[in-house]
Amino acid sequence: MEAVEIRGNKTTNQLMKEAGWFVLHTFFAVLVMAIVVGGFALTEPDPESAVPKSLCTLAVFLAPMAAGFVAGRARTDTIANNVWISGLITFAIVCVYVLDLPTGAGLCDGCGAIDKLWRTFFSIDRNSGLMGGDGVLIGTWVPLAMIGYAVGAKVGKTAE
């Protein structure tokens, strides 16, 4: 493959390497989130209680933040700082998917667009029932883990 110079004085190979690191950092953020959620699942929390979900939400942000901090300190580049973009794109895609889901009895019957999104992603005690009840996991915790990872990486870079 011929090395073509693109704006910013980076070759195609350098950009491909950065893209690979971006995907790897995104994967690390989701992996840390999966470990946290798996740990919470092992404790078998009450599905009706808001406290375990709130604690897991906090842990899903803080654990990837710690991993991002370590990555930010270990790597000389700033690619890990940009993983928040993956989080926003993931959130946007899942929002479009949820808005396209049909409502009905037990599934946010009569909800408008904002109520549909709010109850699917952010309401712990009044879930919309859409996405099989996994809206918080897929639409909130995954993007939150990516954003936390990026924040931790940024703090890790500035702490040097």
Look over the chain and give the mean of its residue pLDDT values, rounded to a whole number.
90
Range of the domain at 119: 16-158
Note whether residue 108 is domain-resident.
Answer: yes
Cβ proximity of 80 and 72 under 8 Å: yes
Residue 140 lies in a domain: yes
Domain presence at residue 149: yes
Confidence of residue 2 (pLDDT cuts 50, 70, 90): low
Phi, psi of 104 (to 5 degrees): 180, -165
Average pLDDT over residues 60-66: 97
Show Cβ contacts of residue 48 under 8 Å, excluding neighbours closer than 6 positions. none
In a domain, 10, yes or no: no
Assess whether pLDDT exceeds 70 at residue 56: yes
Contact present, 20 and 48 (Cβ < 8 Å): no
Number of domains in the chain: 1
Cα gap 66→155, rounded to integer Å: 10
pLDDT value for 124: 82
In a domain, 76, yes or no: yes
CA angle 66, 72, 28 (to 5 degrees): 60
Residue 11, in any domain of the structure: no
What is the structure's pLDDT at 1?
54
pLDDT score of 138 more than 90 = yes
CA–CA gap between residue 66 and residue 26 (Å, rounded): 14
Provide the phi-psi class of 129: left if phi over 0, else alpha when psi is between -120 and 50, else beta. left
Residue 7 domain-assigned? no
